[in-house]
Amino acid sequence: MLTWRAGTVTERGAAWPGARELAVTLDEPLPGRPDDDPASRRVRALAYTALVGDPAPGDRLLLNVSALARGLGTGGYALVAGPADPAALPADPAPGPGHLVKARYTPLQAMVLGVDEQESAHHTTLRDADDLHGMPVVVADLHSAVPAVVAGARHAAHLAGRPAPRVAYVMTDGGALPAAFSRAVAALRDAGWVETTITVGQAFGGDLEAVTVHTGLLAAHHVVGVDLAVVAQGPGNLGTGTRWGFSGVAAGEAVNAAATLHGRAVASLRASGADPRERHRGVSHHSLTAYGRVALAAADVVVPRPTPEVEALPGWGPDLTRRLRDQAATLVGLQTPHRVVELDADTALLDTLRTSPARLSTMGRGLDDDPAAFLAAAVAGVHAAHLAAGTL
pLDDT of residue 231: 98
Nearest alpha-carbon partner for 285 in 331, 319, 338, 321: 331
pLDDT of residue 73: 61
When pLDDT is averaged across residues 205-211 and rounded to a whole number, the result is 97
pLDDT of residue 315: 86
Any idea what DSSP says for residue 86? G
Please report which confidence band the pLDDT of residue 76 belongs to, taking 50, 70 and 90 as the band edges. Answer: confident
Nearest alpha-carbon partner for 166 in 391, 388, 341, 359: 388
Give the model confidence (pLDDT) of 96-122 as tens digits.
Answer: 899 999 999 988 899 999 999 999 999
Give the model confidence (pLDDT) of 269-310 as tens digits.
Answer: 999 998 889 889 999 999 999 999 999 999 999 999 999 999
Q: Please give the Cα distance from 108 to 390 (Å, whole number).
A: 44
Give yes or no for a contact between 138 and 385, defined as CB atoms under 8 angstroms apart: no
Indicate the length of the chain as a whole number: 392
pLDDT of residue 264: 98
CB atoms within 10 A of CB 49: 18
Nearest alpha-carbon partner for 17 in 194, 152, 167: 194
Give yes or no for a contact between 180 and 17, defined as CB atoms under 8 angstroms apart: yes
Give how far Cα 156 sits from Cα of 345, 368, 384, Å.
Answer: 12, 22, 9
pLDDT of residue 392: 76
Instruction: Answer yes or no: is pLDDT of 74 > 90.
Output: no
Instruction: Answer yes or no: is pLDDT of 334 > 80.
Output: no
Q: Please give the Cα distance from 146 to 170 (Å, whole number).
A: 10
Give the model confidence (pLDDT) of 16-25 as tens digits.
Answer: 999 999 999 9
The fraction of the chain above a pLDDT of 90, given in percent, is 81
More confident residue, 110 or 135: 135
In whole angstroms, what separates CA 265 from the centre of its chain?
Answer: 17
In the chain, where are the structural domains located? 4-88, 124-389
Nearest alpha-carbon partner for 5 in 36, 38, 27, 37: 27
Give the model confidence (pLDDT) of 213-233 as tens digits.
Answer: 999 999 999 999 999 999 999
pLDDT of residue 324: 96
Give the model confidence (pLDDT) of 146-194 as tens digits.
Answer: 999 999 999 999 999 999 999 999 999 999 999 999 999 999 999 999 9
What are the start-end ranges of the H helices in 18-170?
49-52, 66-70, 123-127, 145-159
Nearest alpha-carbon partner for 6 in 75, 48, 55, 70: 55
Instruction: Give the chain's mean pLDDT.
Output: 94
Give the model confidence (pLDDT) of 160-172 as tens digits.
Answer: 999 999 999 999 9
Residue 27, phi-psi category: left (phi > 0), alpha (psi -120 to 50), beta (remainder) = alpha
pLDDT of residue 363: 87
Give yes or no for a contact between 62 and 82, defined as CB atoms under 8 angstroms apart: yes
Residue 326 burial (10 A CB sphere; 0-12, 13-18, 19+): exposed
pLDDT of residue 254: 98
Q: Please give the Cα distance from 203 to 71 (Å, whole number).
A: 23
pLDDT of residue 12: 97
Question: How is domain 4-88 classified at the CATH fold level?
Answer: OB fold (Dihydrolipoamide Acetyltransferase, E2P) (2.40.50)
Please report which confidence band the pLDDT of residue 335 belongs to, taking 50, 70 and 90 as the band edges. Answer: low
